[in-house]
Amino acid sequence: MKLGQRLRFIRKQNKFTLKDLSEISDLSVPYLSDMERGVVNPSIDALQKVAMAYKISVKELISDVEGLGESSNTNYPEEFQSFLNEYETTYKIENDWKELLLKINFRGRQPNSKTEWLELYFYLKRILSPKEEIIDRKAIMNHMKRQVNGLVKNVIDQYSSTTIPSIDEICSGLKLDLKEDLLQDGLDGMHTGKTIVINSKIQSEERKRFTLFHEVTHYLIEKDEDLISELHEYTFNQEDGYKRPLEALCNFGAAEFLMPSKEFKRLYEKNGLNVQLIPFAAKHFRSSTIAATIQLAQVAPNRCIAVICEKGLIPNDKVPSNSPILTTENKSQNKLKMHVVYSASSPSANRWLAKYTVIPDDHIVNQAYSQTKMLEGETDVPFPGWKERCICEALYNRNKVFALFHLTPPPNPNQMTLL
C-alpha cells in the first residue's frame, strides 16, 4: 500500500470523513485530500497530527506502507547519498528508514544538505521510538490529582484540629512563614522555600485563602519527587514545560484544602449534580466559587465541564489563534465578550475549556446573563473549532455565569439517592 492509500484506508476504518479528520487534526481538508492522493509529501507534524486523531502512533499509521526498501540507491538525491555515505554505517540506517526519510518533508520541503538529512533522521527516530508512544494524558492527570489529594489529606490529618483547616494551623504545622507584600499585577501569591507571600492588593478574603492554600500545595508538590517526575513525563514535549498543569494541580490542592472532597460529596449527594451547587458550596464552606467549581467537576460521574464565565475584554495576546472572534472587525472593536475565566473537567472528560474561550453571543450562557436567571437546554459546547452537543445548565450569579456542560447525560437525580 502506498502512503496515501494507507492514510485513506485508516480513515475509512475509523469511519471519519475528511472533514471530521480536518476538525480533529487541525489540518485543512485540501491538504488531507492531497496527502491521500499522494500529491504532497506529508510533513512529520502532519503525520503526527493525523496519528493523534486516531489515537495511534505514527509508527502504526505508516506501518503497512509498502515500497519500503524497494527502490535502488541509483535514484537517490545527491545530498541524500552523501548523507548516507557519511552516516549509514555509524547509525546503521536500514532500507526502510531510507525510504521513510525520502517520503517525509522537513520544514516544508525535502532536506537539501546532509546535515538536514541527519536532523530529519534524528527527529524521526525520536518520534518513532517506543518511549514516545502516545501517552494517556487523562489517566496521568487523574493519577496526579489523586496524589495531590493524598498529600493534602495527610497534611490535614497531621496538623489540623478541624475538618476544614485554618491556614494558620497548616502553616505552623509545616513551619511555613506567611507574609503580605506588594507583588506585581496578576500575581496573587508566590513562595520561596518556606516563605509564602500573598499580594497585599488582594481584597477578597476568599481569594486570599484560595491563594494561600494554592501556594501551600506548590510547597507540598515541590517536595514530592515522584509527582514532579510524573509532571515532567506528562509534559516532556510541551513548549511551556509543566507550568500549566502544575498550576492546575495547585488549584486542585487548594480546593481540596478548602472543601475536602469527602465533605463536598455529602453536599453533592444531598443536592444532586446541579450548577446551583457552585454558589451553594462556596457559601457553605465560606470559600471561593473556583474551589466549588473544581470540586463539583471532580465528583461528576458523567463527562462534564464546569465553568465560570464573565463578561469582559479579552487581552489581545490571549485570543487563541483558532478563535472565531479573531476577525478584523472584532479585533478593532475590542468588544466586551462573555468568556471563560475558570473551567474544570470531570475525571472522565478528555477536553477542557481554556481561560478566555469566548462564548458565542446567542449561547444559552449569554442568555442566562442577560436575563439574570438560570436556564437549561441543549446547545454546543463553546470549543473553538470543534462542534460537540451538550446539555447546558447556566446560572446567573452576581455578574458571573456558572455553567455545567454535560457531554454525556447528567445522572438522574432520582437514582442519586440510591447510590
Q: Which stretch binds Zn ion (CB under 5 A): 20-28, 225-233, 247-255, 384-392?
A: 247-255
> 30: which residues sit within 8 A by CB, 6+ positions away?
none
Among the candidate windows 124-132, 170-178, 198-206, 244-252, which touches Zn ion by CB under 5 A? 244-252
Residue 287 or residue 366: which is nearer to Zn ion going by CB? Answer: 287
Neighbours of 348 (CB within 10 A): 14
Q: Which is nearer to Zn ion, 233 or 247 (CB)?
A: 247
When the beta carbons of 18 and 212 are compared against Zn ion, the nearer one is: 212
Question: Judged by CB, which is closer to Zn ion: 44, or 155?
Answer: 155
**What letter represents residue 220's amino acid?**
L
Find out whether 253 and 152 touch, Cβ atoms under 8 Å.
yes
Task: Output the nine-digit C-alpha cell for 326.
Answer: 479573531
Q: Which of residues 249-278 bind Zn ion (CB under 5 A)?
A: 250
Beta-strand relationship, 177-181 and 195-199? parallel
Classify residue 83 as left (phi > 0), alpha (psi -120 to 50) or beta. Answer: alpha
Cα gap 414→419, rounded to integer Å: 10
Local structure of 198: helix, strand or coil: strand
Q: How far apart are CB 250 and Zn ion at their closest, in Å?
A: 5
State the minimum distance, in angstroms, from the CB of residue 32 to Zn ion: 40
Identify the three-state secondary structure at position 336.
coil
Cell of 85: 555515505
Binding to Zn ion (CB under 5 A) within 106-145 occurs at none
DSSP assignment of 108-168 equals TB---SHHHHHHHHHHHHHHHSGGGSPP-HHHHHHHHHHHHHHHHHHHHHHH-SSSS--HH
In the complex, the smallest distance separating the C-beta of residue 206 from Zn ion, rounded to whole angstroms, is 17
Pick the closer one to Zn ion by CB: 249 or 259: 249
Closest distance to Zn ion from the beta carbon of 204 (Å): 17
Among 113-121, 242-250, 319-327, 351-359, which window interacts with Zn ion (CB under 5 A)?
242-250
Q: Tell me the closest approach of the beta carbon of residue 213 to Zn ion, in angstroms.
A: 11
- Residue 281 Cβ vs Zn ion, minimum distance, rounded to whole Å: 23
The 177-181 sheet, strands edge to edge: 177-181, 195-199, 189-192
**Residue with smaller CB distance to Zn ion, 250 or 358:** 250
Residues in contact with Zn ion, counted by CB under 5 A, come to a total of: 2
Rounded to a whole number of angstroms, the minimum distance from the CB of residue 205 to Zn ion is 19
Measured from the CB atom, is 221 or 395 closer to Zn ion? 221
CB of 214 to Zn ion, least distance (A): 6
Compute the residue count for the chain. 419
Report the residue number, 147 or 330, with the smaller CB distance to Zn ion. 147
Partner residues linked to 390 by β-bridges: 379
What is the pattern of x (binds Zn ion, CB under 5 A) and - over residues 197-236? Answer: ----------------------------------------
Interacting span for Zn ion (CB under 5 A) from 178-186, 239-247, 354-362, 407-415? 239-247
Q: Name which of 54 and 210 has its Cβ closer to Zn ion.
A: 210
Least gap, CB of 218 to Zn ion (angstroms): 5
Residue pair 207/288 in contact (Cβ under 8 Å)? The answer is yes
CA distances from 51 to 1, 121, 237 (A): 17, 19, 16
Q: Which residues bind Zn ion (CB under 5 A)?
A: 247, 250
